[in-house]
Amino acid sequence: MNPYKFEFSEAFAMEMDAKDSLAHFRNEFLFPKVDGQEALYFCGNSLGLQPKSVREYLNKELENWADLAVDGHFHGEDAWYYARKKSKPALAEIVGAHEHEVVAMNNLSVNLHLLMVSFYRPTPQRFKIIVEAGAFPSDQYMLETQVKFHGLNPEEVIVELKPRPGEHILRTEDILAEIKKQGDCLAMVNMAGLQYYTGQLFDMKSITEAAHEVGAMAGFDLAHAVGNAPLSLHDWGVDFATWCSYKYLNSGPGNISGIFVHEKYAERPDLPRFAGWWGHDEGQRFLMEKGFIPMYGADGWQLANSDVLGLAAHQASLDIFQRAGMKNLRAKSEKLTAYLEYLIREISGKSGVLEIITPENPEERGCQLSLHIHRGGKEVFDEWYSHGVVGDWRNPNVIRLAPTPLYNSYLDVFRFGKILEQSLKKFA
C-alpha cells in the first residue's frame, strides 16, 4: 500500500529532509543524549521532547508571580483568572472542535472519571460498556471502579473487543457488529482513539454513529491520537473525549490534560457532575454563594483554578502546532512513517525477528509503528538503545517506534535502518 518511491540511502534521506517544509521545527526542540551522543528519539508517543521556548514561557509566569503575586490573577498581560482561554484556539483546531467544547484541565485519569460521572448513567436495562481488549491500564482501572461505584459487576458490564484469532488489530466491522448486538443494553462505548499497544487508529466517526443508533454514548481516550491523528470530534458527534498533553503535544511530564464535551451538552445543568469552583458561572463566582451554576460548554466541568505554570509549558508547544498546522503535520507524518515501514520491511525481510502489527493503511494509524518481536525479546530493544535509539518497550513483546513529524527527520529514520541492519546479524 506504499505509494512512495523510497530508497535505503543516506543521500535519499537527506534529499527528503531538504524538501521538507517542516524540517526547521526540529531546531525548536531539545534532544536527549545516549552515551554522550544525540539520541535517535522515536518516543514521542510516551513523552514528547521539550520545546526550547518552554523556559521563556515559564519564566514569564514566574516573573508575573514575583512582580504581582496575588494581583497576577487579574492584572498583567495574561491574567491568571482567564489562563485556560489561551489554549482553546489551538486545542479546538487539533481535535476538530469549537472553542467552547474544549478546555485544558486536570490530568487524563481524573478527567475520565469526571466525564464518566456525567455520561455513564446505567439503568437496569442499559448498563453495558464496550472497550477494546488490552486498553491502557488507566482506562481499565477507571472503568472497573466506575462500574463498581454503581454497584455493578465489571464482569457483567464491560464488553472487551478482541481481534479475530491470529490477528493483531480489530476490524471496524466487528466493532460495529458488537455495538449493534449489545443494542438496548449498551450504555456507552468508551475506547481509545488510537490503541497504545498496536498503534491502530479507530474509525471514531463510524463507532460514534453506531453507538448513537442504539441509543448509547460515545467517548474516547485520545492520549495517543491528539496531536498525532486527524480529529473532527464535533462533526463526528462524539459525546466526550479527553487526552493528555505530554505525548505528542510536548507539554512536559505529567502535564495538564484536556477535555472535549460536545456543544449539545453546553447548557445542560441537569447533567450529573462533580462540581468545583472553577466550573461555576464566571460572572458570579466571587459572590461566594451556594448553588452551582455550570459555565457554558466544557468549562462547566472544571474543578479547581488553572495550573498556570503547566498551562504555560503547554502553550509553548501549542504555539508551535499552530505555526506548523495539523494538516501539514499529518501529511509529513504519513510519509515519514511510510519510510520507516519501508526500511523495516526491506531490511528485516524474512528474518523472522520482528513483525509490524500496526495497520498498513495510513488512515488506520498515526505515526507509531508497533513491532512484535518474535526472537530476541527485550534484548533487541536493549541492543537498539545501546546505539542511541530511544523507543518504547511494552510487555510482553512489542517495541513501539514513533517518528514524530514535528522533530524527527528522514535522516533519523535512515540511521535507525542502519542500526536495524546491524542488529539483525545478531538476532536473525
Amino acid at 394: R
**Which of 322, 345, 369 corresponds to the end of one domain?**
322
**Which of 268, 300, 322 corresponds to the end of one domain?**
322
158-161 and 128-132 beta bridge pairing: parallel
| Strand residues in 252-391 grouped as ranges (E) | 258-261, 354-356, 369-373, 389-390
Q: Give a yes or no: residue 269 inside a domain.
A: yes
- Residues in the chain predicted with pLDDT less than 50, given as ranges, are none
HEC-encoded secondary structure of 245-260: CCCCCCCCCCCCCEEE
* Of residues 358, 390, 396, 363, the one with CA closest to residue 377: 396
**Which of 290, 322, 354 corresponds to the end of one domain?**
322
Shared domain check, 220 and 243: yes
Shared domain check, 397 and 367: yes
Q: Give a yes or no: residue 43 inside a domain.
A: no
Shared domain check, 340 and 272: no
Domain range enclosing 386: 10-30+326-427
Q: Cα 33 from chain centroid?
A: 25
397-413 residues labelled b (16+ CB within 10 A) or e (exposed): bbbbbbbbbbbbbbbbb
Shared domain check, 337 and 307: no
Instruction: For residue range 47-100, list pLDDT tens digits in order.
Output: 999 999 999 999 999 999 999 999 999 998 889 999 999 999 999 999 999 999
pLDDT of residue 1: 57
Q: Give a yes or no: residue 274 inside a domain.
A: yes
Q: Give a yes or no: residue 44 inside a domain.
A: no
pLDDT of residue 2: 65
Residue 378 belongs to domain with CATH number: 3.90.1150.10
pLDDT of residue 3: 76
pLDDT of residue 151: 97
Shared domain check, 147 and 224: yes
pTM over 0.85: yes
- Split into its structural domains, the chain has a count of 2
pLDDT of residue 204: 98
Q: Would residue 163 be called left, alpha or beta, if left means φ above 0 and alpha means ψ between -120 and 50 degrees?
A: beta
Shared domain check, 87 and 66: yes
Shared domain check, 299 and 345: no
Shared domain check, 370 and 230: no
Shared domain check, 256 and 165: yes
